[in-house]
Copies of this chain bind each other. A is one copy, B any other.
Amino acid sequence: MTKLTDTHISLAHGNGGRLMRELIEGLIADSLGDRLLDIENDAARIDLDQRDAELLITTDGFTVKPLEFPGGDIGSLAVHGTVNDLAVSGATPHYLSLNLFIEEGLEVSLLQRLLCSLAKAAGEAGVKIACGDTKVVPRGEGSGVYFATTGVGLRPKSLQLGFSHIQPDDRILVSGPIGDHGIAVMLAREQFGLRGDVRSDAASVLAFTRTASEFSGLRYMRDPTRGGLATVLHELHRATGLGVRVYEPQLPIRDQVKTVCEMLGYDPHYLACEGRVVAIIAADQADSLLQRWQQLPNGGRAALIGQLNRHDTGVVLETELGGERVLEELEDDPLPRIC
């Protein structure tokens, strides 16, 4: 194996020839280490025991500026985003595929940090990188690097989750404070002249989804990423036809996140999270799940935030002073664009 000696990515690293082989063998495979299944073949064989389980697949693309931010980077995001989509579906993720679209001129040392971060996140989530592909796009026709990952995992056949299981009076739980990721990325851009110590919440939510899956009353889970909590609540409303009522005082939002939102006129309900879960659960099991979640690492601020009902006609926020406010569906970008 040849170590890559170039300091910057050039177009020739994507041409299929020697330089590309050196990039893949000397940097990508090296950085991904024991998380990597196979770079020898066009297609990789994966082992999944489907007895009593269903095969699930999901995919996600990743674009973020800056590529590194407090609490994470695009490499760890590319694992967490896809792992979490499987996790909230009730599955255990096993394998990822990895696409890289690298912009000509990207620093090799930065790429290496991102890939090492990706490998670390994959290791923590217990997933292998089964296969990958690398393209290099001309300078100016990318934004450093775009990643895409597709994940496959197994869900026990006994676990039945979905909108159709949701009933009036079910409770809505969230696993931690919302909006940290959106604000952390925005502050990392420094374009508003603001600084702060908010760190992204980007993380695997597997511990939360596994705990929730032990409850017979669990109906549905979702991670509030693009479009934030408000978008998940709107999906719930649209899919079930039920009213969605959220108690604003219960909603966990960090003071720093509130402050930045107030200064810039953003609504934290639309801010992306990358390490939170929203769970819908039968009313009589909601408190038990909440207690279990609160005992998990990073679960201290998990909260019961609302419930489904037959009388509201949309997504309603019950405010601190007893008032009501309709939480509209996200329209044009009223928030910092982070992906």
Contacts and interface: CB of A to CB of B under 8 A. Distances in A.
A226 B16 contact: yes
- Indicate the size class of the contact surface on chain A: 35 or more
A148 B99 contact: yes
B337 A227 contact: no
B333 A15 contact: yes
A332 B101 CA distance: 19
Contact of A14 (B16, B20, B339): B339
A272 B135 CA distance: 14
Interface in A14-44: 14-20, 40-44
A150 B18 contact: no
Count of chain copies: 2
Contacts of A101: 61, 63, 101, 146, 148
B331 A91 contact: no
A213 interface: no
Contacts of A99: 59-61, 99, 148, 150
A330 interface: yes
A44 B61 contact: no
A59 B132 contact: yes
Contacts of A117: none
Given A41-B162, A337-B11, A98 B131 contact: no
